[in-house]
Structure 1
């Protein structure tokens, strides 16, 4: 099997998405990819147990991608061996009335992981420079001072948003949140095939929306927005990873492997040592329990 190296997918310099493959050759079958994932996710589950006991870091995983990119199934398969209390998934959809009464980062800030836990953002704060940039009329619903019409939303507005997002991520990173951002890089043809499967399979029909076809017509515009967002916000403390996503099983293994490889670098994440007094009396505690009436 081809080695999955974390730095091979991390965005360290400017990228052009059209020049990055959406298909990765792992050199093994889908069945073997699944077996490899099982091993990696068990190791991730053990790391999460230690992270919880250590209690100093939270882990934020951001997943972005076009419709049908495989975000939901990736979450299901990669985090299957986690303690259920150790990972929380947040799916951010159209902002609610309450959320619109706050700034656009508020709902993401309150969903950040507690120390010792993982939070997975299924669609993220980046929707605010993606879907809103493709559909700037959505910004008007935020009631931002000085923004009274679409014509008020200029390039300075978007540059400010990128700056705000970078500041947000720098702040949380400096306070113990480990950030991983994954763009599931899907080809337009593979999306077409997945949409056709949603229409062909009765059990998948519920996932289909006519809006999917409307958004598909804006494919190139979305790709431009993703490319700009990735290039402006991939930082050492909050890196983007571009993951070939035409093969779902391969994408899941790649994300899981990158997470494990990167997290293992935090050598300070260790289970805490028992208090010396408690450690010295372990045998007496054991004897006390053994003497109890059954």
Structure 2
């Protein structure tokens, strides 16, 4: 334990690794004081009586930094049973502990907590924590075995939500890159809320894969789509077509037919010429 205070961080980490194997609950304070990732990992894997109980007590304390470290260690220990407690901590005061709690939920939670996470994100929409919740939602959705269900859960939360919360949910959908997210994103591009529509178009125009091209072209071809939004969508289409090793001729022809301006036609013709 004294080596955890060494001037050499390598010695500190080796001491933490050793305590992970031979330490007891009595070593918790020393590891907590060290605070390095290796020390938290040691707390997360230490197989000794009383460790879980002691960490739970610290997690529930009012010491923001200590609570955060204990929460992180409990997440490493895979304590799925503590998800309800993590939500309580996430809604608490301070910054470090709520952030650690949200990350812990992302580490041990699954699709079953998505609805509650969306509710938390909406409740904290004016707080920096909303960004942490968004990242956690994305992490859970990316590893979900049922992306369509995950998308449905999030889309259901958009009804009645504030424009800011709807925007956060849209960003979560887009970051997953799931094809199931394209329809709700397209629906938002037709929203009567101008700011939400503008954001949705911007997000769709930045779609990372070619499976978004048909949706972009469909929207860009609608007469009700404003010129600025049309331009953004067509730029997104051109970016994705230009990235293809072999341009999809059907999509390229559809893009040319959808163009409203001469410069757009020239842009797509240049892409086709370059690919030849």
Give the TM-score band, short-chain normalised: under 0.3
Query: TM-score scaled to structure 1, two decimals?
Result: 0.23
Report which of the two has the higher share of helix.
2
Higher-RCO chain (CA-CA 8 Å, sequence separation at least 6): 1
Query: TM-score scaled to structure 2, two decimals?
Result: 0.24
Report which of the two has the higher share of strand.
1
